């Protein structure tokens, strides 16, 4: 039955997808979307600014990295060249890849979020009461660190970068959203979700999102997106593979 077979395998519909990540990750996600047959439109809503390398840091027993940008920040620190063999605890594969690119060789990866990372650290037999460095963003949640500190971990957080909000959407992107020429938006962080909500409300676009699907990396990322009128799809796991799988599904 050739007709039935053709119908069965012709259900894929390419989408025009807004990529809201900061660079350089936006370009990487866009490339993956093209491979999947979609048309990416990049509209970064955050700009990452790295702080100056800190002075007088203790030699750490280990490091905690919760984002790719944290790994990129540390790679800029001259003293970090002596730490490449230290254990590096990361939230997931993407951050682990960034840590490896920065030269670290002893990478221990959780399953994608801070809670998994805390469990990984508590189950590890390595450093606990010795300094563990946590290079982090200026705007961050430290709830998982308080849990670890309560278990005896000596964790020192260093502000390594900040993510500055892009206050307005590019006019072409704004017009495309208003004209329903964007099918989906991929959102990888809670701060990006907050920036997206701020941008669409500032542009008066809240009522134009009913035909758009928002793909969020986790329930926490999705929280600022509720009540925007768009359908929200949350990845099964807080990683890019799961988010792209949601697009395929």
pLDDT digits (tens, 9 = 90+) for 191-210: 999 999 999 999 999 878 98
Query: What residues pair up with 132 in beta bridges, in sequence order?
Result: 62, 155
**CB contact at 8 A, 28 and 10:** no
Residues 33-56, mean pLDDT to the nearest whole number? 95
Give the number of residues written for the chain: 249
Domains of the chain by residue range? 13-45+166-248, 50-163
Phi-psi domain of 112 (left: phi exceeds 0; alpha: psi -120 through 50; beta: other): left
β-strands 154-165, 46-50 pairing: antiparallel
Structure tokens at 207: 């009522």
Residue 27 has pLDDT above 90, yes or no: yes
Residue 4 has pLDDT above 50, yes or no: no
Report helix angle 68-75 to 93-101, nearest 10: 10
The CATH number of 50-163 is which of 3.80.10.10, 3.40.50.10090, 1.10.1040.10, 1.10.1380.10? 3.40.50.10090
Structure tokens at 39: 């048309």
Residue 7 has pLDDT above 60, yes or no: no
71-72-76 Cα angle (round to 5)? 115
Q: C-alpha 214: how far from its chain's center?
A: 15
Please write the tens of the pLDDT for every residue from 126-185: 676 689 999 999 988 888 888 888 888 999 999 999 999 998 999 999 999 999 899 999
pLDDT > 70: percent of the chain: 94
Q: What's the rounded Cα separation, in Å, for the pair 111 and 100?
A: 17
Residues 14-21, mean pLDDT to the nearest whole number? 96
DSSP letter string, 74-131: HHT-GGGGG-TTSEEEESSHHHHHHHHHTT--EEEE-SSSHHHHHHHHHH-SS-SSSE
**pLDDT recorded at residue 11:** 65
| Side-chain-facing half-sphere of 135: CA atoms under 13 Å | 30
**pLDDT recorded at residue 1:** 38
Domain 13-45+166-248 listed as CATH 1.20.120.1200: no
Residue 32 has pLDDT above 90, yes or no: yes
Q: Do domains 13-45+166-248 and 50-163 have the same CATH topology?
A: yes
């Amino acid at each position: 039955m050739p007709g039935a077979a053709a119908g069965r395998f012709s259900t894929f519909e390419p989408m025009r997808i807004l990529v809201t990540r900061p660079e350089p990750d936006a370009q990487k996600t866009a490339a993956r979307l093209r491979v999947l047959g979609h048309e990416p439109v990049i509209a970064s809503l955050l700009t990452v600014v790295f702080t100056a390398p800190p002075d007088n840091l203790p030699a750490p027993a280990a490091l905690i990295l919760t984002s790719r940008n944290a790994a990129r920040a540390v790679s800029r620190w001259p003293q970090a060249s002596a730490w490449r063999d230290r254990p590096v605890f990361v939230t997931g594969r993407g951050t682990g890849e960034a840590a490896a690119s920065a030269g670290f060789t002893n990478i221990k990866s959780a399953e994608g979020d801070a809670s998994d990372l805390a469990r990984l650290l508590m189950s590890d037999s390595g450093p606990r009461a010795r300094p563990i460095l946590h290079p982090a963003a200026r705007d961050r949640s430290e709830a998982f660190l308080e849990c670890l500190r309560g278990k005896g971990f000596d964790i020192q957080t260093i502000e390594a970068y900040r993510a500055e909000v892009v206050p307005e959407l590019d006019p072409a992107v704004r017009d495309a959203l208003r004209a329903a020429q964007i099918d989906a938006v991929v959102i990888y962080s809670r701060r990006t979700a907050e920036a997206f909500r701020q941008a669409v409300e500032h542009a008066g676009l809240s009522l134009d999102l009913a035909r758009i699907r928002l793909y969020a990396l986790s329930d926490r990322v999705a929280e600022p997106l509720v009540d925007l009128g768009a359908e929200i799809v949350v990845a099964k796991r807080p990683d890019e593979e799961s988010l792209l799988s949601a697009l395929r599904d």
